[in-house]
Amino acid sequence: MIEYNTKGAVFIQYTSLNAYLKERFGCKVYKLAIDGGFTCPNRDGTLDTRGCIFCSKGGSGEFAGDRCLSVSEQIEQGKRLVEKKNRDGKYIAYFQAFTNTYAPVDELREKYFQALEHPDIVALSIATRPDCLGDEVLALLDEINKIKPVFVELGLQTIHEKTAQYIRRGYPLEVYDKAVNDLHKIKINVVTHLIIGLPGESEEDILESVSYVCKFTDGIKLQLLHIIKGTDLEKEYNEGKVKTFTLDEYTEIIKKCIDIIPESVVVHRITGDGAKKDLIAPLWSADKKNVLNTLNRVLK
C-alpha cells in the first residue's frame, strides 16, 4: 500500500492500520482505550496469581480510561482528549486492560453494548486471551459483529513453547490456533499480538512467529519488549539475565518482520510505549516520535 505525507510520496511496504481504517470507514478513526474492570485467569488464581512475567500491574492498560467510570463515561472522556486531532472523525472502543472476555456473559453484554450503542463508535476492539473464548462468549461476539464490526486482539506473544513457558503465558499454541479458527467461523477480524525481543529468542525465532501468525491472522501488532517497574521481568533485568534491544537493533528486526508480512495482513503497530513513570528499559522507547520517525525512514 502507498501512503503519502505532507512532504510528498513515501512508499511504506505494509498495510497500516490508519490507512485500513480510513478506507473501511471513510474517515479518520481513533481508538479509545477502555478499562472494563476485568481481571485475568493468570491473576485470579485460575492459572496463576502473578500474571505474565512482563505484564504491568495495570494489565497493559496504562493508557486506558478510569475503571471507576462507566464505559460510556470513558468514551466521552477519551473523546475530549483527542477531539482536536479528530474533528468529524469516528472512534473504536478498545477494551484494552487485562482479559476482556473473562467475565460472566451478562456482564460482558452490558459493557459491550454501552460502547456499541454510542453514536460515534463505529467498531469494538476487544483484547483477550485465546483460552477465554468459550461458546457463550463467541455467540455474544457473533451477535455484536452483525451490528457493528468487532476486532478481537489475541495476546499470543510468541509461537515458541519454551518462551511461552518462561513468560507464563499459560496455554499452548494449539489454543491460539483454535481461537482464530472459531473467530473466523463467525467472521470476526483477528489481530495477533507478538512481543519482539523476548528473552532467549533469536532473530530466526522472531521471524518464525511473524511468519506463522500471518498465515491465519487478519492483523498483527509488533510490540517492543519493555521492562516495566514492578514486574517479575524487572527482577530478571536487574540481575543481568535479560537484555533489551537498542533502537538500531529494533529497527533492523522490524524491517525484516515487515518484509515477510503480506499486504493482506494489517499492521496495527510496529512498536509500543510503556508509561514513562514505570518504564525501566529501553529508555529510548519513551521518545515515541523519534522511534516512529526512525522506523518510517528505514521502511521507505
Judged against a pLDDT cut of 80, whether residue 13 lies above it is answered with no
How large a percentage of the chain has pLDDT more than 70?
94
Distances in Å between the alpha carbon of 230 and those of 42, 237, 265?
16, 12, 34
pLDDT for the residue numbered 276: 85
Band of residue 2 on the pLDDT scale cut at 50, 70, 90: very low
**Distance from the Cα of residue 282 to its chain's centroid:** 19
How far is Cα of residue 47 from the mean position of the Cα atoms in its chain?
22
Which percentage of the chain shows pLDDT scores above 90?
Answer: 83
Tell me, what's the pLDDT at 12?
52
pLDDT tens per residue across span 105-136: 999 999 999 999 999 999 999 999 999 999 99
User: Phi, psi (5° rounding) for residue 167?
Assistant: -85, 0
pLDDT attached to residue 56: 82
Give the chain's length: 300
Bridge-based pairing state of the strands 150-157 and 121-128: parallel
Give the residue from 195, 224, 200 showing the smallest Cα distance to 210. 195
Task: Report the pLDDT averaged over residues 188-205.
Answer: 97
* Banded pLDDT at 294 (limits 50, 70, 90): very high
Name the band, by pLDDT with cuts 50, 70 and 90, for residue 8: very low
Grid cell listed for 260:
515477510
Residue 10 has pLDDT above 80, yes or no: no
Contact 156, 176 (CB under 8 A): yes
Q: Give the residue-averaged pLDDT of 149-175.
A: 98
Across the range 193-212, mean pLDDT stands at: 97
Quote the mean pLDDT of the chain. 92
In angstroms, the CA 234 to CA 241 distance is 10
265: cell is 495482513
Closest CA to 13 of 3, 22, 23, 5: 3
Reply yes or no on whether the pLDDT at 1 is more than 50. Answer: no
pLDDT, residue 90, reads: 94
Kindly state the average pLDDT of the residues 68-94.
91
Amino acid in position 252: E
Asked whether the whole model's pTM tops 0.85, one would answer yes
Reported as a single tens digit per residue, the pLDDT across 211-270 is: 999 999 999 999 999 999 999 999 999 999 999 999 999 999 999 999 999 999 999 999
At 182 the three-state DSSP class reads helix
pLDDT above 90: residue 3: no
How distant is the alpha carbon of residue 257 from its chain centre?
A: 17
Q: Of 257, 291, 245, whose CA–CA distance to 271 is shortest?
A: 291
93: cell is: 472502543
